Amino acid sequence: MNNLITNQPKIYEGNRLNFYNDCFPILKKLFDENDLKLAEKIQLHSSHGYDDRGYAIGLCHPSRYSSDNQTRHITISPSLNGETVDNTIKALGTMAHELVHTIDNCNNHGNLFKTNAEKIGLRGKPTCIGAILEGDNASVEFNDFIVTNVINTIGCLPEQALLKLKSGKGSRTKKIICNKCGYRNSATGQKVIEWSQRGGFACNDCGEYHDDYDVYFDGASQPATDLFEVQFNYCD
């Protein structure tokens, strides 16, 4: 794999969603070469995804969940690390896994899914089949395809990972007290994580941008957490 890298790997100039959208026609070529027809309408998202089993690094939603009853929406988690060759291959392995689900509306990990995934070079157990970098079960052909057609052309997946919330911590609204003016702000857990990693936000009352907030992440009756500490206490 490494011997196929023609130059010092560069980082893609753009955000993750643009990167995945630019990778789509490249991956589609791999599917086409193996006589695998993807769904006509596919929309990609770089976002945290949850289903009835909990958090997932990749999800392909059945078209019945789309407003037009036709589009397959695919989410790829920003918790995947970027900026290296190995990380890029693994992230695109996740994307390819989800694309396989769009073939003939395959919404499970049965024999048809496994067969189609292996045709494009993915390896592993059906539920987590993807890009494997080393070992006897390495996805050599897929990895080489990504190096040649993605990393050597448009570059590596940009940006470091955005941490995900621990299970059950993301959807409920959190009380956030501004220690400058005493105002009670509120936001979802995921938004609080983003503010914690960013280093603050502007209070909705006094308008001052700062990080001096008390966050009641586990409920109003529980001890508060400093905004800056949230990212360390409530992320996996």
CATH of the domain at 137: 3.30.2010.10
Q: Are residues 37 and 108 in the same domain?
A: yes
d(CA 87, CA 81): 6
Q: Are residues 36 and 121 in the same domain?
A: yes
Q: Are residues 137 and 107 in the same domain?
A: yes
Q: Are residues 107 and 139 in the same domain?
A: yes
d(CA 31, CA 141): 13
pLDDT of residue 209: 87
Full pLDDT tens readout for the chain, 236 residues:
556 666 678 899 989 999 999 999 999 999 999 999 999 999 999 876 655 455 578 889 888 888 898 999 999 988 788 888 999 999 999 999 999 999 998 888 899 999 999 999 999 988 888 888 888 888 999 999 999 999 999 999 998 776 655 544 545 788 999 999 999 998 888 788 878 877 888 999 999 888 899 998 777 667 888 888 887 776 65
Q: How many folded domains does the chain comprise?
A: 2
Closest CA to 206 of 166, 176, 178, 164: 178
Q: Are residues 73 and 15 in the same domain?
A: yes
Residue 163 covered by a domain: no
Percent of residues in the chain assigned helix, strand, coil, to nearest 5: 35, 20, 45
Q: What is the pTM of this model?
A: 0.69
Q: Are residues 124 and 185 in the same domain?
A: no
Residue 138 covered by a domain: yes
Residue 167 covered by a domain: no
Residue 185 covered by a domain: yes
pLDDT of residue 97: 94
**Number of residues assigned to the chain:** 236
pLDDT of residue 117: 95
Q: Are residues 133 and 201 in the same domain?
A: no
Residue 25 covered by a domain: yes
Q: Are residues 118 and 60 in the same domain?
A: yes
169-175-177 Cα angle (round to 5): 135
Question: Which domain, by its residues, includes 188?
Answer: 173-233
Among the candidates 93, 120, 151, a domain finishes at 151
pLDDT of residue 135: 85
